[in-house]
Structure 1
């Protein structure tokens, strides 16, 4: 390990799942997905996830149809409903700066925080889907400008939650002597997540975010990102935890798991996958380095929105548990998981995979700082 990295957290690795509050499931494929986007399905799923040992659920935000997501429930209201149906699960509401103003969101989240005993968090999404901005009359900013706006959004949000008489003078948001009461129960504030793989995204995480979500990747690719982000965060006097996206296919045999992956790819919707690839490639090319989250994604990778196949949590419970602990060893704090058939596969994961992860963690040597 380099001197820029901390080897593995002493804390148990955490688990989150993508909430299917939009239609179409988590793969752009015509394979059967016994997953529904309605509230009753999601209410039961949240309860199963909580009982199965998951720590977080992440709701998705979409304002318009595209790539199989023809129907979408709004993320903040849906998050609140899932929190009301559970007791321990934390729910992360995805937020788009532009449609939301930080003052409105700060008040929404503070109220939900009081109503749910401090279990709400937010994921600030800078935006990759130009059509959903233009469809609702929101300006589509250049790549790095979107991240500048997101950083101001986070600074404003945290300031409102932690300060009285908050004053902020930015290029996108301005506050003068503003006090929010009551403030959230969580101290110092509800957790703030963000995603992205571009230079602007990583630099923003190293300055202001509590958590950074990265797309699925190889172990070496994930480690390189973590070393980069955490090295910069320390230089900024900041710390950030890391979550990685993974599409999990856990089956009793490796052959069975690989057969499911092959069927997903075989039944992919080529037009929808290519359209999604074009959209995200254009968004990434707008960054100064000409790359974004999906810069090195193949057609097969793009079938799962966030490169979840690349993380390779596909196989038997034993294989997947070993790979999760390997992710932890390079600095991953959380696995953000997607599944084909959410209810039954979340239960299977909690019953057969998660206990193996905890057993392997207990046998691993104590983490060592190389600082």
Structure 2
């Protein structure tokens, strides 16, 4: 178990429709004023990161979307400590353009910008904007080249690169980002190709929600591969958090979310993402085995089971930390008030449990 305190991030609701495919009331808005205030609340509550979403087309209740890099900059400008991770799709973005965008934002915001390289799951989105849709493992190969290029541009002058997807000839970016050696690079996915790539290239690996046992299997595989590559990578896990004063209240909220799920939208989303998950050669990618109920939350967030009282949730978070999780990527039903509640009621308990475990380990 890491000696570092576990970190917390939240999904930026820069896409309309909230974080569940349900007709339940979600007191969450995609507009900029709501998101600026949410960023300030999260910073005060003790969240270290926010992750902006990237979508190019409407679907599954996500009618409107703010672009990820632009809104990330807006949230950074509204906060003082919070770090914001901008989600990026190789294909629509060229790495030279992104490298320059992020370097500029780094200088404007004291080096608090990071990137999450999303290899792509939404085939219809790519075809709608005229971008080629690559096979599963080819998408990850392109993403790995994208990351190699970003690292090169951000740390070298006269950078040259000759890959299958990107070519550079004596390119120098100035100014380079403030972060040393460069901005953090996050990457998602649950397939073998995703873990293999993270074990070589990423600073952080995001995976969909899962049980403690399921997460442990992924972490063990990832860390063994990373060690063989003389590389270190941290792990973030998606979780939809329902924290209430009693377990009965929390379970009732989950039951209502599922009872009011939009069946047509969930099935359409499920068709799209299962195609992406099953397309991995081993058939184990994101969503490959997700049930209807799992898919009501976009990234299997119910599976992580952070649903209950503050004490129950804190104990489950520390159990995840014990199997190698470094960060909880959080979604909520009503973001502003629930992020504040989490910071007041749950996070202090997590820190108490971490301190207790550390003391027990020292005494052993």
TM-score by length of 2: 0.98
- The corresponding residue for 1:47 is 40
The answer on whether the counterparts of 2:3 and 2:358 sit within 8 Å (CA) in structure 1 is no
1:192 lines up with 2:185 in the alignment: yes
Task: Kindly provide the CA deviation profile for residues 149-188 of structure 1, in whole angstroms up to 9, marking residues without a partner as x.
Answer: 0000000001100111111110000111111111000000
Query: 1: CA distance between counterparts of 2:359 and 2:72?
Result: 36
- The corresponding residue for 2:171 is 178
Of the candidates 14, 19, 27, which is equivalent to residue 21 of structure 1? 14
- The corresponding residue for 2:250 is 257
- The corresponding residue for 1:5 is none
The answer on whether the counterparts of 1:60 and 1:94 sit within 8 Å (CA) in structure 2 is yes
The answer on whether the counterparts of 1:243 and 1:336 sit within 8 Å (CA) in structure 2 is yes
Pairwise CA RMSD of aligned residues? Answer: 0.9
CA shift for structure 1 position 365: 3.0
1:31-180 superposed matches below 5 A: 31-180=24-173
Of the candidates 211, 214, 223, which is equivalent to residue 221 of structure 1? 214
SS at match of 1:72: coil
CA shift for structure 1 position 21: 0.1
CA shift for structure 1 position 367: 9.8
- The corresponding residue for 2:313 is 320
- The corresponding residue for 1:342 is 335
The answer on whether the counterparts of 1:10 and 1:367 sit within 8 Å (CA) in structure 2 is no
Query: 1: CA distance between counterparts of 2:85 and 2:41?
Result: 17
Task: Kindly provide the CA deviation profile for residues 250-271 of structure 1, in whole angstroms up to 9, marking residues without a partner as x.
Answer: 0000000000000000000001
CA shift for structure 1 position 287: 1.4
The answer on whether the counterparts of 2:49 and 2:83 sit within 8 Å (CA) in structure 1 is yes
Query: 1: CA distance between counterparts of 2:234 and 2:117?
Result: 15
Task: Kindly provide the CA deviation profile for residues 20-57 of structure 1, in whole angstroms up to 9, marking residues without a partner as x.
Answer: 00000000000000000000000000000000000000
- The corresponding residue for 2:204 is 211
Gaps of 5+ in 1: 1-7
Gaps of 5+ in 2: none
Cα distance change, pair 169–367 in 1 and its aligned pair in 2 (3 A): farther
Query: 1: CA distance between counterparts of 2:360 and 2:192?
Result: 28
Query: 2: CA distance between counterparts of 1:214 and 1:13?
Result: 16
- The corresponding residue for 1:238 is 231
SS at match of 2:100: helix
Query: 2: CA distance between counterparts of 1:367 and 1:22?
Result: 43
Query: 2: CA distance between counterparts of 1:328 and 1:292?
Result: 23
CA shift for structure 1 position 237: 0.7
SS at match of 2:202: coil
SS at match of 2:358: coil
Of the candidates 247, 271, 275, which is equivalent to residue 282 of structure 1? 275
CA shift for structure 1 position 366: 6.3
Query: 1: CA distance between counterparts of 2:96 and 2:222?
Result: 28
Query: 2: CA distance between counterparts of 1:236 and 1:254?
Result: 44
The structure showing larger relative contact order (alpha-carbon pairs under 8 Å, at least 6 residues apart) is 1
The answer on whether the counterparts of 1:184 and 1:190 sit within 8 Å (CA) in structure 2 is yes
1:305 lines up with 2:298 in the alignment: yes
The answer on whether the counterparts of 1:9 and 1:367 sit within 8 Å (CA) in structure 2 is no
The answer on whether the counterparts of 2:276 and 2:286 sit within 8 Å (CA) in structure 1 is no
The answer on whether the counterparts of 1:10 and 1:366 sit within 8 Å (CA) in structure 2 is no
Aligned residues between the structures: 361
